[in-house]
Structure 1
């Protein structure tokens, strides 16, 4: 079974990107999440993402590296597994340029030569321990957790998640799905994370699913199904150059996949962890050094104090487990 990885990346220090950003937005504004510095700044850790793939997931068929035409100077573009993907290679031209990662994500199935089974990464998701293909796909089916969580927030992201669920409830009957897939929704491997699923068993509507916020397996078929159902809504969303409260997110496709029973029950929290650096930088550093998990998310925040010092310590922790240059790096341009 072929499995591809897709990763999106941006370098906000690129003068061409800055000019385009300024033309359409004005300037970085840390008071607005959709145009904050944390939304676009590069951590300088990308080489460890590639090292982690080579060391811990060498079975990947192809890596689709999605940017607006940028690439790190050290990247070996001739690596046989690397596919450089420009936004214009898969996003309809009328929506470009784009600074909205949600729009980039809803069109992923259009990437040329993308395998049916693929795993999507943000550039702050890292592999830090051995992974088998079955971590993401078992018998060709995505591994995932089907469990509810409360979404009472008023943030832009919370509003987008509510948009997803509204569309899901238009398309799917919760009672029928929970009856059909009872063993998947009420699987004991979820442990306490399924508590709300049991408490809301009487409620006849879907609410937001738990989101591990890390590498997520998908099938292209899922994306095609969602687009066939909601093309009008997704095309309208694609006009938003920056994140908007009217957006949908990749969680729409994940939830759809689960509602279609196109998944096997897996407690993704057992080997996946998100670390908000604003609050848990020391725990993140320790987890990387000790390789406590297989997958970690190093989540940036525009208000994070001592950013440079924190990222230096994070880099040291990655270097301690992935010191060897990968074949994705040019031998004469180490960084």
Structure 2
């Protein structure tokens, strides 16, 4: 927009990145795709930087925008469109590029980028990608919208409003500045990247609880200690501890769909998985590091562990808690879990807690819900009727410390219970969230799309196939029920293949070298998977 009179003097846009080597390509449904192992955010950033580089080399001035949905975009003067289209056409001759414009029309840039824009002044540019295993593709949803801005009579007309401006902007109201983003300096409009009132900007950590139930040492110790206890329905079942490396894929789901998470803590007393390398973002914490009374250890009670999580050293004030069978299914933002003021958003389930009090024949989960209900009724004169969805739950350390003082005996009793008991509280399942709700620190929401699948039931196999094909939920849980209808070998194979197909992008904390002979563990470099519903149509 040099002709508009917008001030640009003194602003230099410089990339810190060199031009990457050309990636291999393949046809998917007859359309050329880059073959790449990349996350959605990485793909979006790479395409943004590549489009900017193309425009820079063509001498086309551009401005970095923040779209209304928070994604990046670029704007150029409409009078520079011929040079921009020529440069994009040349780039598309060397690698696959496509454009999507309003109305859902998608066309390749190859041959003539002008044709892809048609008569419109905006289009989303992207390089289609497919993971080497053939089960994961990225398209226009990670693309970069390029906008052609018109200037006439001291007024700028943009094709879309963005995070800062309306479509119609007075030139005199605009101040051009620079911003550092994505490894380079950009021209932009002043205020474009100032956080909005609707954004949550504090650090968020995530805590996973995990147990390696396949460990022979764990099984011996648990059996020895359990011989002295009577536990509730299902609480002694092997399903509570067996696993098929779900934690690896739960961590990959963070890498792929929630990269804004600051740190990940894995609360476990099991040996670290063989594939987990040292990484500043992932920390294993042992029970003795955060239990208030280490004399209560060892423990085989998840309720006890969950009642002590706020004591993890270095944990952010705002954090999410999840089990290792809970996954992010698509890109999520912090605002799904916290309001801009830090109020947590928890997801209620349609499942009712049910009537009656705690009893030895009930499961630990059902008993804890009833104990929680009694405590909340006593304190607030209100009852709770619903369970929470099986998905990542938001919490605040300060509220948990407050609860530990308010319900001191209940926290201490639960932390001291070696196995689940009929007197446990369940802090992270419902007690925290309804306590915070009653004190103005939480709200219930049904906004996130969630899915709960019992992988040991016959319908669960079909549900996993649909989940993989659609990829349309924010979070899901693949639970190992304690009443199996499916042969364990079949269940394990389908579950492992589903997870590898859904989350094929290796995280930076995974060891790169393939390892064999580890109980049938699939390596990250496994061959393409024959998962029903996961194959790319020809």
Structure 1 residues 147 and 124: CA distance shift in structure 2, 3 A: closer
Deviation at 1:310, TM superposition (A): 1.9
Query: How far, CA to CA, are the matches of 1:90 and 1:80 in structure 2?
Result: 19
TM-score, length-scaled by structure 1: 0.83
> Which is richer in helix?
1
- Larger mean Cα displacement after TM superposition, 277-286 or 100-109: 277-286
Gaps of 5+ in 2: 1-201, 516-522, 524-538
One of 394, 407, 426 as aligned partner of 1:230: 407
Establish whether residue 81 from structure 1 lines up as the match of residue 258 from structure 2. no
1:18-33 correspondence runs (5 A): 18-26=219-227, 32-33=233-234
- CA deviations 1:179-201 (Å, max 9, x no partner) are xxxxxxxxxxxxxxxxxxxxxxx
Q: Is the 8 A contact 1:30 1:37 kept in 2?
A: no
Residue 302 of structure 1 corresponds to: 482
Q: Is the 8 A contact 1:30 1:302 kept in 2?
A: no
Structure 1 residues 39 and 263: CA distance shift in structure 2, 3 A: same
Deviation at 1:41, TM superposition (A): 0.8
Residue 315 of structure 2 corresponds to: 114
- Larger mean Cα displacement after TM superposition, 155-164 or 11-20: 11-20
Query: How far, CA to CA, are the matches of 2:417 and 2:408 in structure 1?
Result: 15
TM-score, length-scaled by structure 2: 0.53
Query: How far, CA to CA, are the matches of 1:33 and 1:210 in structure 2?
Result: 18
1:171-182 correspondence runs (5 A): 171-174=379-382
Residue 162 of structure 1 corresponds to: 370
Structure 1 residues 138 and 100: CA distance shift in structure 2, 3 A: same
Query: How far, CA to CA, are the matches of 1:310 and 1:147 in structure 2?
Result: 26
- CA deviations 1:30-53 (Å, max 9, x no partner) are 995222101111122222111111
Establish whether residue 276 from structure 1 lines up as the match of residue 467 from structure 2. no
- Give aligned pairs, total: 302
Query: How far, CA to CA, are the matches of 2:396 and 2:362 in structure 1?
Result: 29
Establish whether residue 142 from structure 1 lines up as the match of residue 344 from structure 2. yes
Residue 152 of structure 1 corresponds to: 355
1:201-280 correspondence runs (5 A): 206-250=383-427, 251-268=430-447, 270-279=448-457, 280=459
> Which is richer in strand?
2
Deviation at 1:116, TM superposition (A): 0.5
1:36-115 correspondence runs (5 A): 36-76=237-277, 78-91=278-291, 92-115=293-316
Q: Secondary structure at the match of 2:477?
A: strand
Deviation at 1:227, TM superposition (A): 0.7
Q: Is the 8 A contact 2:232 2:422 kept in 1?
A: no
Query: How far, CA to CA, are the matches of 1:129 and 1:52 in structure 2?
Result: 8
Structure 1 residues 150 and 296: CA distance shift in structure 2, 3 A: same
Residue 499 of structure 2 corresponds to: 318
Query: How far, CA to CA, are the matches of 1:324 and 1:27 in structure 2?
Result: 44
Q: Is the 8 A contact 2:452 2:478 kept in 1?
A: yes
Q: Is the 8 A contact 2:257 2:330 kept in 1?
A: yes
Deviation at 1:28, TM superposition (A): 12
- CA deviations 1:245-285 (Å, max 9, x no partner) are 111112211211111121244215x4112112244412133
Structure 1 residues 57 and 28: CA distance shift in structure 2, 3 A: farther
- Larger mean Cα displacement after TM superposition, 221-230 or 286-295: 286-295
User: What is the CA RMSD across the aligned residues, in angstroms?
Assistant: 2.3
Deviation at 1:333, TM superposition (A): 4.2
Greater gyration radius: 2
Structure 1 residues 259 and 95: CA distance shift in structure 2, 3 A: same
Residue 198 of structure 1 corresponds to: none
Query: How far, CA to CA, are the matches of 1:289 and 1:122 in structure 2?
Result: 24
Query: How far, CA to CA, are the matches of 1:317 and 1:30 in structure 2?
Result: 33
Query: How far, CA to CA, are the matches of 1:312 and 1:30 in structure 2?
Result: 30
Query: How far, CA to CA, are the matches of 2:408 and 2:287 in structure 1?
Result: 19
Structure 1 residues 105 and 51: CA distance shift in structure 2, 3 A: same
- Larger mean Cα displacement after TM superposition, 23-32 or 222-231: 23-32
Q: Is the 8 A contact 2:318 2:395 kept in 1?
A: yes
Q: Secondary structure at the match of 1:311?
A: helix
Q: Secondary structure at the match of 1:13?
A: coil
Gaps of 5+ in 1: 175-205
